[in-house]
Chains A and B, each alone.
Chain A
Amino acid sequence: MVKVLIWGSLRSATEGQTEVEVDASNFKELLDQLATLYPGLKPQIERGVSLALDGKIYREAWFAEIGPDSEVVLMPYMTGG
């Protein structure tokens, strides 16, 4: 199981938790698990999310590997100027 930190405005979809646990070994599995366990997260996942893995931000990489001790933070998908 990996712990996933979500951002505050998604708490309404996770029964008020800012940290949820899912069984996932990569970004894709994590997103699928989150959408299954917390259907309220689905609209945001479809709009786009990034993943910070041990401090490094992955914007789209499904197969970014997640270790059991990885720090996993969900972030909105972002662009620049």
Chain B
Amino acid sequence: MALDSEKKQVFKVVGTRPARPDGIDKVTGRAMYGADATAPGMLVGRILRSPHAHAIIRSIDTSAAEALKGVKAVVTSADFGAPEDESIRDVQDNCMARGKALYHGHAVAAVAANSAVVASQALKLIKVDYQILPHVTDVDEAMRPGAPVVQADRAFENVAAGFSENVTSQCEFGHGDLEAGFAKADKVIERSFTTAATHQGYIEPHACLASMTPDGKGDLWCCTQGQFHVRTVCAEIMGMDASQLRVTASEIGGGFGGKTTVFIEPVALALSRKSGRPVKIVMTRDEVFKATGPTVSSSMDVKIGMTKDGRITAAQARLRYQAGAFPSETVTYGAQSAFAAYDLKAVETIGWNVLTNRPKEAAYRAPGAPMAIYAVESVVDELCQELSLDPLDVRLKNAADKGTKSSYGPTFEAIGLRATLEAAKAHPHYTAPLGVNQGRGLSCGFWFNFGGNTCVSLNINTDGTVGITEGNPDIGGSRASISQMAAEELGIPYEKVRTIIADTNSLGYNDVTDGSRVTFSVGLATIEAARNAIKVMCGRVAKIWGIDEDAVIWEDGCAKPSGPNAGSFDPMSIEEIAAISANTGGPIAGHFEVNADGAGVSFGVHLADVEVDPETGATKVVRYTVFQDAGKAVHPDYVEGQMQGGAVQGIGWALNEEYIYGKNGLLQNPGFLDYRIPVASDLPDIETVILEIPNPGHPYGVRGVGETPIVPPLAALSNAVSRAIGRRMFELPMSPPKLLKAMSQKR
């Protein structure tokens, strides 16, 4: 059966809003997160971090720490090997600096001790001899020849000449004749923009509990978006066979991309191996800010030409992303997505990745897209203002649609952009009156969405209920939506299904929970696993009835004869079939393994109204509406939750959040007091409108929804603020001091 051979249009369970299976555990404090596990004889692990932005580690003397009573192990980079795979070596070097500390907060040594107090004392006894090097934390400075080199010899073959060694990769996308396009324009605007690095800001710091035994076996409990990826990376770093390292994902207290890699797990495993005891490491918030996360910061130029009637004739972008101290490909995603919302005859985007003395960038919700699209949508808005055009009409006029050759190459299949724009135009928000000091902004958003490696095992219990085993940590309610899709396919109530997330020994490899892939891919695999189980059940019933397997169909949780020619038999329910499974051939199960493709891109449009206080420069979001194509919303509450949560992360990015580095290269604001994420009193209700343009690549039409919502808020807010204060903003975040300065320049 082809994956998309059977399309469903009418649903009984999908589209409803049942209670999540993890709900009671989470409201009673029973849910077990990364830091909540303990083990007999457990030690406390702590990590020593570089106080410098860039320094050669000449030597590390751990003898005094090792001699301290209660200290059971100390590790440094000398305790790790040199993995062959470059990306895994980078992860290891990020977990424990080798030779050079590359950023403020880079791990240089770790201890395991019988108490937190002793572990902290031991860290102070470790003597590191640093030779301080010049540092660079700004992307534009880091690109210039002569800039301090963060890592030498890391540039790909395709980087043009004339840059410093920090420029590690270059990418270029687009098509058409730019020069001719710009010549046709009545107005051409070219602007430069910057965005600050922001952190994913999950409330749960990274935590893990590692237990290695002398026979080479290991168990690891950790908060992660992907236990299988953790196993791959840690097994390679530790020189272990994958079979001997069992990784169990805890409940995850937020990830947003930031928990798709490892920071402390190999360190805990090494400490456990050395000490012979289980070791727990829990990061402090200070460590989370200094050494995990953030997304890239950017410096960008965008040039767009438009005719008087609002047709874009040519578009060009230059993107410079710094992704911290290690090479990254995030800029390629930005370069591909920058103009995705537009049907363009001539478009070109060039991007560069740049090394700086900052933490290794980690994925953050639609990685690379928000900043590029912010710059593009800002220039489009300015053109609309200059040419006195309605910004929604201009987007509709230029909107990509089915059959459009996208700015990154392929021709779009069915997409929901136009429907989303039309919904925004028809919504009362778009024409509601604005007050004094208020402005309205809008922006399109886009993300590719991915499928990926997925395994699902679906067991029909002997009482006819269903157990599902899948391998992707639930970060947004996926256990509920997967149970819904199984219930839908099997024709049984949602309450009869329970979905659990397996450890790495219980299923084949599953890709990380990322790329908005889980409801799409795990859902698809669940539907196929259910179809396989149905096939087994129909086969059993055919034998009982003595008719052909093809003459038995499945409907509403029952096997039935396919028609009068098949004979007259009373339907057999799933309960009846399950009860006699021992007599008919044994336990009944369905399973499905796939590397899913066809995820289907997702578009959204956000409308934002803001009010800027002329005295303080503070921006208040007074109304906000999110429009997004979900393909098919399996659990609409959780789709809305993604739309609202992503929008608010984007609002924080636009207005307040930023990594601030001093001239000394040290992070100035590693805490929630000074790195200010939005709080409840900052925000209005976030209204949502879900569009459903079915994804042709999924049996129920599902598209991923998790990432797209973080993309539009940056430009929607910037456009709203620019219109409110009568001055165009080119920099994020638009914190009060910057807005005050901009407003004073106007006067």
Contact = CB atoms under 8 A, between A and B. Distances in A.
A and B touch in the complex (CB under 8 A): yes
B90 to A, nearest CB: 13
B628 interface: no
Given A54-B411, A57-B448, A79-B450, A8 B173 contact: yes
Contacts of B409: 5, 7, 52, 73-75
A33 to B, nearest CB: 19
Nearest to B260: A81
Contacts of A81: 200, 256-258, 260, 363-367, 514-515, 707
Nearest to B704: A80
Nearest to A12: B158
Question: What bracket does the count of chain B residues touching chain A fall in?
Answer: 35 or more
B576 to A, nearest CB: 40
A21 B157 CA distance: 23
Interface string A2-22: 000101111110000010000
A35 to B, nearest CB: 14
Nearest to B410: A52
B410 A80 contact: no
Contact of B448 (A54, A58, A80): A80
Interface of B is mostly: loop
A44 B114 CA distance: 48
Contacts of B367: 79-81
B371 to A, nearest CB: 13
Interface in A7-61: 7-12, 18, 40, 43-44, 47, 52, 54-61
A22 B325 CA distance: 38
A61 B597 CA distance: 8
B452 A55 contact: no
Given A52-B409, A56-B597, A64-B597, A78 B333 contact: yes
A79 B598 contact: no
Contact of A57 (B256, B348, B410): B410
B172 A57 contact: no
B659 interface: no
B514 A80 contact: yes
Contact of A78 (B157, B170, B448): B448
A58 B697 CA distance: 12
Contacts of B174: 8
A54 B410 CA distance: 7
A9 B452 CA distance: 26
B714 interface: no
B246 to A, nearest CB: 24
A80 to B, nearest CB: 3
Contacts of A79: 260, 363, 367, 450, 512, 514-515
A80 B697 contact: no
B410 A61 contact: no
Contacts of A61: 595, 597
A68 interface: no
B363 A9 contact: no
The CB with the most chain A CB atoms within 10 A, among B171, B412, B517, B697, is that of B171
Contact of B411 (A47, A55, A59): A55
A79 B336 CA distance: 13
Contacts of B364: 81
A77 to B, nearest CB: 8
B642 interface: no
A47 B253 CA distance: 32
A9 B158 contact: yes
B603 to A, nearest CB: 15
Interface in B467-522: 512, 514-517
A67 interface: no
B329 A76 contact: yes
Nearest to A60: B595
B87 to A, nearest CB: 9
B456 to A, nearest CB: 19
A32 B350 CA distance: 27
Given A71-B410, A76-B332, A80-B447, A59 B514 contact: no
Interface in B23-37: none
A57 to B, nearest CB: 7
B614 to A, nearest CB: 37
Interface in B718-738: none
B408 interface: yes
A59 B595 contact: yes
A81 B599 CA distance: 15
A44 to B, nearest CB: 8
B744 to A, nearest CB: 37
Contact of A9 (B172, B450, B514, B597): B172
A74 B447 CA distance: 18
A5 B411 CA distance: 12
B413 interface: yes
Given A43-B157, A57-B599, A59-B451, A80 B411 contact: no
Given A55-B410, A78-B515, 13 more contacts: A7-B173, A8-B173, A56-B597, A57-B410, A57-B599, A61-B597, A73-B410, A74-B409, A78-B329, A78-B333, A80-B450, A81-B200, A81-B260
Top 6 closest pairs, chain A to chain B, by CB: A81-B257, A80-B515, A8-B172, A52-B410, A73-B409, A81-B363
12 contacts: A9-B172, A18-B175, A43-B157, A54-B410, A57-B599, A61-B597, A75-B336, A78-B333, A80-B366, A80-B517, A81-B366, A81-B367
